[in-house]
Structure 1
Amino acid sequence: MIGTRAERPLRFAAAGIANTIFGLGIYPLLLWAVPAFHTHYLLALGIAQAVSLCFAFTTYKLGVFRTRGNVMREFGAFAGFYLANYAANWVALPILVEVGGIPPVIAQLGFALVIIVTSWFWHSRVTFRAAGRGA
Structure 2
Amino acid sequence: MRPKRNERGTSDGLDRNKDTHARQQFGTELPHGDGKTWRFLAIGAGNTAFAYVITTALYYMLARRLHIVAIGAIANVICITEAFIAYKLFVFRARGHWLAQYLRCYVVYGGNALIGLAGLWLLVDALGVPFWIAQGGVMIVGIAVSYAGHDRFTFDEAQRG
TM-score, normalized by the shorter chain, greater than 0.5: yes
The percent of aligned pairs where both chains have the same amino acid is 33
In structure 1, what residue type is equivalent to 2:40? F
Amino acid paired to 2:116: N
- Alignment RMSD: 2.0
Higher RCO, 1 vs 2 (CA within 8 Å, ≥6 residues apart): 1
Match of 1:48 among 64, 67, 75: 75
List runs of 5+ in structure 1 lacking aligned partners. none
CA distance in 1, matches of 2:145, 2:115: 14
Structure 2, gaps ≥5 residues long: 1-32
Structure with greater proportional helix content: 1
| Per-residue Cα deviation, 1:5-62 (whole angstroms, up to 9, x for no partner) | 612122111110110000111111112334625x632222111111000000000001
* Structure 1 counterpart of 2:86: 59
What residue in structure 2 maps to residue 33 of structure 1?
61
| Count of aligned pairs | 128
Q: Which amino acid aligns with 1:24?
A: Y
Deviation at residue 72 of structure 1 after TM alignment: 2.2
- Using the size of structure 1 for normalisation, the TM-score is 0.82
**Deviating runs (4+, > 6 A) in structure 1?**
none
Residue 117 (structure 1) aligns with: 144
> What is the CA-CA distance between 1:132 and the residue it aligns to?
7.8
Q: Is the 8 A contact 2:84 2:102 kept in 1?
A: yes
Query: Computing the radius of gyration over CA atoms, which structure comes out larger, 1 or 2?
Result: 2
Contact 1:27 1:105 in 2 (8 A): no
Q: 2:118 aligns with which of 68, 86, 91?
A: 91
Distance 1:43 1:8, change over 3 A: same
Rounded to whole Å, the distance in 2 between the matches of 1:98 and 1:36 is 14
Question: TM-score, length-normalised on structure 2?
Answer: 0.70
CA distance in 2, matches of 1:36, 1:124: 39
